[in-house]
Amino acid sequence: MVQSFGFASTEIRDYSGAAELSLNRSPVMDLAKRLIPPLFVVLWATGFIGARYAMPWSEPFTFLAARFAIAFALLGIVLLAWRSRPASLADAMHGVIAGMLMHGIYLGGLWWAIAEGVPAGMAGIIAALQPLMTAMAAPFLVGERLQPVQRLGLLLGFIGIAIAISPKLLTPETANLWQAVVPLAVNLLAMASVTYGTLYQKRYLQTGDLRTIATLQYVGALIVTVPLAFIFEGLHFDGTQTAILSLLWSVFGLSMGGVGLLLYLIRRGQVSRAASLIYLMPPAVAIEAAIAFGEPLTLPIIMGTAVVVIGVYLTNRRTADVVPE
């Protein structure tokens, strides 16, 4: 889990053109790079916890529109303070499109589907499809091919997820799944959107200031969520302490922290490796839910998590480099 995603050197770049600083390899910098993947998993998993806190107090599109608007404003201030160079017209367009795919359609569809009755266990299985979908599409869209050990790791990750959430698939709410065909289809569409968005990001946005790209992505996210909030919702948001704290964490912990780490991982490593970390989300959510809500850690969750960790390790081994086409 503490693999470095194949980053060959530690390099800090100022894309404003002012300077470029390359640092020699050091134990401290190596440790910092190794901590990025597990930190990303911990932050990203809190999104599910935050959704559980926020769902009773706000409609999904309204909450997400507020989250994206605040993140856009804060990142805009950061860009001005650092005097970042504006993106080219092409990069701006790609950034907006990536934001529509990775944030607007993905999170909008996922939150709406859960609000409309898709069981958490089924949503976990659908989320676990992303690494497999990414690995299958990567050879065609970004020229990445996986070695056999990486394919085995992806398969083990999916098996581990199935073991971990299997008890939830037997709950009464799952038995009524066919009553939520449309939400389930939307959930699948959302997962396909973030899969393609990740590959799109890897293909078209390999250069440029990540702060600028992240800011542009929230423009794309707002293009999707604001019209949906006005058309389908009453813009309901209760200003309770829980709702406000959930919103603040969604902005700072997820939209700025988690997304920034994801963009870094996509740029610096193989996209299929970055996507494989999604396998760790359901087990991580289970652990965080046990801490936050006292939910029990069952034997299937523990066993499934062990299998998932092995699968992610195999997918992210240093020796598993990209095989040229």
Instruction: Supply the Cα-derived Rg of the chain in whole angstroms.
Output: 19
* Within a domain: 3: no
To the nearest 10°, the Cα dihedral for 238, 70, 124, 126?
120
pLDDT at 122: 61
* Within a domain: 198: yes
H helix runs in the chain, sequence order: 27-54, 60-82, 89-99, 106-115, 120-141, 148-165, 172-175, 181-204, 210-232, 241-249, 259-268, 271-276, 281-293, 299-315
pLDDT band with cut points at 50, 70 and 90 for residue 12? very low
Identity at 246, one-letter amino acid code: S
> What's the domain range around 115?
11-315
Q: Which of 23, 43, 90 is nearest to 264 (CA)?
A: 43
CA angle 128, 132, 136 (to 5 degrees): 160
Helix axis angle for 259-268 and 181-204, nearest 10°, is 50
* Within a domain: 64: yes
pLDDT band with cut points at 50, 70 and 90 for residue 66? very high
* Within a domain: 324: no
pLDDT at 217: 93
* Within a domain: 2: no
Contacts of 190 (CB under 8 A, 6+ apart): 105, 106, 107, 108, 109, 110, 113
pLDDT digit string, tens, across residues 112-143: 887 887 755 566 667 766 777 777 777 777 67
Contacts of 256 (CB under 8 A, 6+ apart): 71, 74, 75, 214
pLDDT digit string, tens, across residues 303-324: 877 887 788 778 766 543 433 3
* Within a domain: 305: yes
* Within a domain: 320: no
Query: How many domains does the structure of the chain reveal?
Result: 1
* Within a domain: 255: yes
Quote the tokens at residue 288: 């965080």
- Is 1:309 a contact under the CB 8 Å cutoff? yes
Give the C-alpha separation, 320 to 48, whole Å: 31
211 three-state secondary structure:
helix
pLDDT tops 80 at residue 60: yes
Choice between 71 and 125, residue whose per-residue pLDDT is larger: 71
pLDDT tops 70 at residue 242: yes
pLDDT band with cut points at 50, 70 and 90 for residue 18? very low
Q: Which of 276, 308, 315, 267 is nearest to 129 (CA)?
A: 276
Whole-Å CA distances, 120 to 124, 152, 188, 211, 323: 6, 26, 14, 33, 36
Choice between 308 and 100, residue whose per-residue pLDDT is larger: 100
- Is 75:95 a contact under the CB 8 Å cutoff? no
